[in-house]
A = this chain, B = another copy of it.
Amino acid sequence: MTNYYGSKMVSLIDEFARLPGIGLKSAQRLAFHIIAMPKERVEQLSNAIVEAKEHIGYCKKCCTITDGDLCPICKDDTRDTSLIMVVEDSRDMVAYERTQEFKGTYHILQGAISPMMGVGPSDLKIKELLTRIQAGNVKEIIVATNPNIEGEATAMYISKLIKPLGIKTTRIAHGVPVGGDLEYVDEITLLRALQGRQVI
């Protein structure tokens, strides 16, 4: 890229273009927006970035992303701590919270087993999950990792690890999404929906 805008602008465009989902055109657009923004708004953005990185850690119990010792859900006395839903990511937890139906607690693995990406079981918060189980009082582990290859492999790995401990281990159901159109659902999902059919 010829340096028409000066080196500071080029660095900024480069930095933006390294973020996920931002191509060179969007990066340019963002950079032009930044230099047109009031100085205090720019500092606010820059601080938010550094502060998030510095102050955000994992909940000591469920390993979700939070800025205190415990996340709001683990702090909440009304939640059923004998029921743990295992998810890959904090966003998955928030997705289930949106249903407003699940009253148990969560455990966030911070990823899924993926040999392709070099992510093994030791890179995930599985040790922390076992620690919670060993502390007693856990009745059921619901494995809600994503319904893809990595998520299924992780679910398999976790169930094999936990079953010998005598804890009930379940997996969220596969099936056709509500509001979807059968015509557009893939064969494997249709098959899983058939296998998982229930009496009405």
Contact = CB atoms under 8 A, between A and B. Distances in A.
B35 A45 contact: no
A2 B98 CA distance: 10
Task: State how many copies of this chain the complex holds.
Answer: 2
Interface string A68-104: 1001110000000000000001110110010000000
Nearest to A47: B46
B19 A52 contact: no
Interface stretch (A6-14, A136-144, A186-194): A6-14
A29 B21 CA distance: 9
A170 interface: no
A121 B31 CA distance: 25
A4 B35 contact: no
Interface stretch (A59-67, A147-155, A160-168): A59-67
In order of increasing CB-CB distance, the 4 nearest A-B pairs are: A6-B67, A12-B52, A42-B53, A15-B48
Given A8-B55, A11-B51, A31-B52, 8 more contacts: A4-B73, A4-B90, A8-B51, A8-B56, A8-B67, A14-B48, A32-B89, A42-B50
